[in-house]
Chain A
């Protein structure tokens, strides 16, 4: 069974930092692109970042570029999001989501078929 479990959320002051983790199980983690998606309270979904299977390509939403860093540890089936210079508008539930299957070097199934339960990040003084 595919599972994604986020952790690391919490209350942080504006300007502070936080590191989110997502632990994957039930599939070959190293074969899949991974994503972070967030949802501010009462708002819609906002894609945050994508990382390729070996970290060879990384993309960020403009709203977080230069402040957030996505990374992965394929040996430990883990995805990370290092967040710095946090702002009130970064307050959201952060989800990790499985993306494209890149087994064999070509990526397909480019949609988010599994999501974690989310972890809440609150930026407030």
Chain B
């Protein structure tokens, strides 16, 4: 089955830039979506189709891809950005949605 690999944790100081990666064997040809989830809350879409932002999501959140890796970049990190972040793709070979294992962003 298709696997998306994320680092378990990323730490960054306030005001710095956080980069969260998502690696998958075929990710270059799939649209990647990103969600954040704060404790006790439902996930929230923060980037869709690799690099687009839903309305209401700050411009500090951006997405990109390079080869088999998708990257969520959070600029000028704030304490409120502390959350778990998940990437997601549609695996067309199995007709399954796949989530990465999640990355816990800690703001130091």
Contacts and interface: CB of A to CB of B under 8 A. Distances in A.
Q: Are A and B part of the same complex?
A: yes
Interface residues of A, number: 21
A112 B33 contact: yes
Contacts of B33: 111-112
Contact of B102 (A44, A112, A113, A116): A44
B42 A47 contact: no
B101 A116 contact: no
Interface string B91-108: 000011111111000000
A110 B66 CA distance: 21
A59 interface: yes
Interface string B45-57: 1001100001000
B90 A118 contact: no
B99 A47 contact: yes
Interface of B: 1, 31, 33, 35, 37, 42-45, 48-49, 54, 84, 86, 88, 90, 95-102
Interface of A: 35, 37, 44-47, 50, 59, 61-62, 95, 97, 109-113, 115-118
30 contacts: A44-B84, A44-B99, A45-B35, A45-B37, A45-B86, A45-B88, A45-B99, A47-B97, A47-B98, A50-B97, A59-B95, A61-B96, A62-B1, A95-B42, A95-B43, A97-B43, A109-B48, A110-B31, A110-B90, A111-B45, A111-B48, A111-B49, A111-B88, A112-B33, A112-B43, A113-B45, A113-B54, A115-B42, A117-B42, A118-B42
